[in-house]
Amino acid sequence: MDSPTEVKIGLAVATALSLWGAGAYFGFETEYQKQNPDPYQIAAQTARLAGARAAIPENAVVGYLTDLEPNTVATWSLFSATQYILAPRILKHDAAQDRVLGNFARPADFAARGRQHGLIVDRDFGNGVVLFRKEAAR
Helices vs. strands in the chain: H and E counts, helices first: 5, 5
* 65 lies in the same domain as 101: yes
* 11 lies in the same domain as 67: no
Q: How many domains does the chain have?
A: 2
* 63 lies in the same domain as 104: yes
* 24 lies in the same domain as 74: no
* 20 lies in the same domain as 47: no
Please give the average pLDDT of every successive group of 10 residues along the chain, which has 138 residues: 86 95 90 76 87 96 94 90 95 93 93 94 95 80
pLDDT at 118 (0 to 100): 93
pLDDT at 1 (0 to 100): 65
* 20 lies in the same domain as 70: no
pLDDT at 35 (0 to 100): 79
* 53 lies in the same domain as 112: yes
* 15 lies in the same domain as 56: no
- CA-CA distance, 128 to 73, in Å (whole number)? 19
pLDDT at 132 (0 to 100): 97
* 52 lies in the same domain as 103: yes
pLDDT at 23 (0 to 100): 92
* 75 lies in the same domain as 124: yes
The backbone torsions φ and ψ at residue 20, rounded to the nearest 5 degrees and listed phi first, read: -65, -45
Q: How far is CA 78 from the centre of its chain?
A: 4
* 4 lies in the same domain as 69: no
40: which DSSP letter? T
pLDDT at 111 (0 to 100): 94
pLDDT at 125 (0 to 100): 96
Domain boundaries, position 88: 42-134
pLDDT at 32 (0 to 100): 81
Q: Map residue 41 onto helix, strand or coil.
A: coil
* 29 lies in the same domain as 46: no
